[in-house]
Structure formats: C-alpha cells, structure tokens
Amino acid sequence: MTGIKNNQRSRCTKEVIRSSFLKLLRIEDIEAINVTDICKEAEITRGTFYHYYSSQFDLQRCLRKDLFKNTLVLIKLRFSQGQRTVLPAIFEALKQADPEIVKAALDANQGSLFLRRIFASCKEIVRPYMMNQIDWVNDQQFEYLYAYFSNGVTGVILLWVEQGMRPVTSYIEEDTLKMIRESITYLANHKHKKRGFKE
C-alpha cells in the first residue's frame, strides 16, 4: 500500500512540475526559464525538482519523449485499422497534446530531429503502400520520394508551430494532405516514365 501511495505522490508531483513548466512556457521562451522559476510556480523545493529532472531542458526532453511515444501509438493504431498515411496520425497526436507541449517538443533546436525520428520509424510501413500507388517506383526511388515528402511535411509542421500553430490544425492538415495526394496522383499517372531517376 505504501508503494502505491508513493507512486501516486510521484505522479502528482511530476504532473505539478510539468503543468507549472508549461504555464511558464506560455509567457517565456525556455531559455528564459530556470529551475527556480519552475519551483516557485509549482511551490516545491529545488531538491524535489532534481529528484525527477536534472534541468529544465531534461524536463523538455521528457515531454518530447512522451509526445513521440504517443504519436507512434496513434500511427500504429491507424495502420492496424487499415490507414496507410502517417500525417493524419501525427496531426491527431498534436491536436490531443497540450499546445505548449507541442511547442516545447517541436522547438527550433530539436523539432526537426523529432519529426525525422517519427518518419524514420514509419518508412518501412509506408513503403509497400507508396510503391503500390506509384508502380514504377523502385526501392532506391522510394528513398528519394519518401525524403521529399517527409522533409516537406517536416518543414510545414515546424513553420506552423513557429507561427503559433495558426491556422487551426484541421486546415493545415487538409492543405498538406491535399498537396501530398496530388503529388502521388501526378506521379502515379505518369507511368510512361518508367526510367524514374537517372543513375
């Protein structure tokens, strides 16, 4: 029973720390926030903070890790239901998360790496679907096409976060998916160019 109570207390303390950090992120950049600020907001001691996190950047890393795991769970769920596109699951994960967690996870320093890891984790699941849609694509060509799409989407998402996550998620998702679908349709309909990319 004591162990259960301690676990509950730990979860509550971590939640207070995280919510206090996110509250501060609404008014300050992470570089302007220090451990003392978080402790004052959370009404805890520095020792309590350091019991769970080594710094504000470690806390940010943990938030990013949680968002990454939640995004992969959603992608796997969507694929198990027959969907073969990654982007809707990414946007769904971003919509479900606290906006400040999204901003903290997809900041200028680590946002690109975060999204590259997501797309890298999904590449082999997407490969047969895309190669079926564009039947002239071989394995090497798929690598380039996947890089083209994933890097383009990464740029769109990072710009969207940088601009305050405006417009709303559904609009940016709809526009981005439309661009991808039209690109795939164009490539699929140009089957006569079987030579693909030059060696």
**Residue 1, pLDDT above cutoff 80:** no
Percent of the chain with pLDDT over 70: 92
pLDDT of residue 46: 95
More confident residue, 197 or 19: 19
pLDDT in tens, 31-49: 899 999 999 999 999 999 9
Q: Give me the domain span that covers residue 22.
A: 1-53
Same domain as 177, residue 104 = yes
Same domain as 81, residue 39 = no
Same domain as 122, residue 175 = yes
pLDDT of residue 169: 79
Same domain as 155, residue 91 = yes
Same domain as 187, residue 92 = yes
Evaluate whether 133 touches 184 at the Cβ level (below 8 Å).
yes
pLDDT of residue 196: 52
pLDDT in tens, 103-154: 888 887 788 999 999 999 889 888 988 888 898 889 999 999 999 999 999 9
Q: Which among 47-56, 105-114, 168-177 has the top mean pLDDT? A: 47-56
pLDDT of residue 94: 86
pLDDT in tens, 58-94: 999 999 999 999 999 988 888 888 776 788 888 888 8
Percent of the chain with pLDDT over 90: 41
Same domain as 105, residue 12 = no
Taking the C-alpha atoms of residue 139 and residue 141, their distance in angstroms, rounded to an integer, is 5
Same domain as 90, residue 158 = yes
Same domain as 199, residue 106 = yes
Same domain as 109, residue 183 = yes
Same domain as 49, residue 7 = yes
Taking the C-alpha atoms of residue 120 and residue 126, their distance in angstroms, rounded to an integer, is 10
**CATH code: domain of residue 33:** 1.10.10.60
C-alpha angle 96/162/180, rounded to 5°? Answer: 70
Evaluate whether 74 touches 89 at the Cβ level (below 8 Å).
yes
**Residue 50, pLDDT above cutoff 90:** yes
Same domain as 141, residue 84 = yes
